[in-house]
Chain A
């Protein structure tokens, strides 16, 4: 069965520091992978997606993610974090037949000034 693991429940970084949020997936075929961000009480905003091609994907707000098939990972990175990046981040994989998204548990990011 498809699954997504986000090992870090909470991460705290200082403003201006680099960030990496981990995501590991379990899926038999080539997955469709997504990262979404959710601010408190809000819906989800798509940061970036990977379907095929270049394994380094650029997204909005300065985020990028790298698909590594050998490690079954799709980690999200940002070189310099801003205070406004504090939010909940969800990694998701599209299940077989692309009928639905399977979400990870989420990583809550706090940013210290």
Chain B
């Protein structure tokens, strides 16, 4: 089946620094990718929709300047958490939609800000 890969799977960064998470569709082209955040034992919260070649669409309450999303190609979207703080520590998951409208998820990335 279709595979979506995220990297890194785990990252620890210092407060005030920025960290980038990559999301790749390995065997299909994805014009649309989605970024979610998940708190422990909770459901997924959609942060933004990333469209190749255009600006991301952010959900209400998500800071655009803090969570920078770039969808530079049909197989790659990146999420950059800028000036990270401990409250940004979370599990971030991306997903990608194929031409058949099925959405596949990556393995997730654990971010810890110390």
Docked Cα-Cα span, A90 to B105, in Å, equals 13
Measured CB to CB, the closest approach of chain B to A75, in angstroms, equals 18
| A44 close to B105 (CB less than 8 A) | yes
| Contact string against A for B residues 2-19, beta-carbon threshold 8 Å, 1 for contact and 0 otherwise | 001010000000000000
A34-B103, A49-B102, A101-B103 are known contacts. Are A90 and B108 too (CB-CB below 8 A)? no
Tell me the dominant secondary structure on chain B's binding face.
strand
Residues of chain B contacted by A90 (CB below 8 angstroms) = 43-44
| B107 close to A42 (CB less than 8 A) | yes
Docked Cα-Cα span, A104 to B44, in Å, equals 9
A34-B103, A94-B101, A101-B103 are known contacts. Are A43 and B43 too (CB-CB below 8 A)? no
Tally of A-B residue pairs with Cβ under 8 A?
A: 51
A74 at the interface (CB under 8 A from B): no
A30 at the interface (CB under 8 A from B): no
Residues of chain A contacted by B95 (CB below 8 angstroms) = 44, 101
Which A-chain residue is minimally distant from B6 (CB atoms)?
A: A43
| A44 close to B43 (CB less than 8 A) | no
Residues of chain A contacted by B28 (CB below 8 angstroms) = none
B34 at the interface (CB under 8 A from A): yes
| B49 close to A100 (CB less than 8 A) | yes
Residues of chain B contacted by A36 (CB below 8 angstroms) = 105
Which B-chain residue is minimally distant from A51 (CB atoms)?
A: B101
Docked Cα-Cα span, A100 to B46, in Å, equals 8
Residues of chain B contacted by A108 (CB below 8 angstroms) = 41
Query: Interface on B for A, CB 8 Å cutoff?
Result: 1, 4, 6, 32, 34, 41-44, 46, 49, 57, 91, 93, 95, 97, 101-108, 110
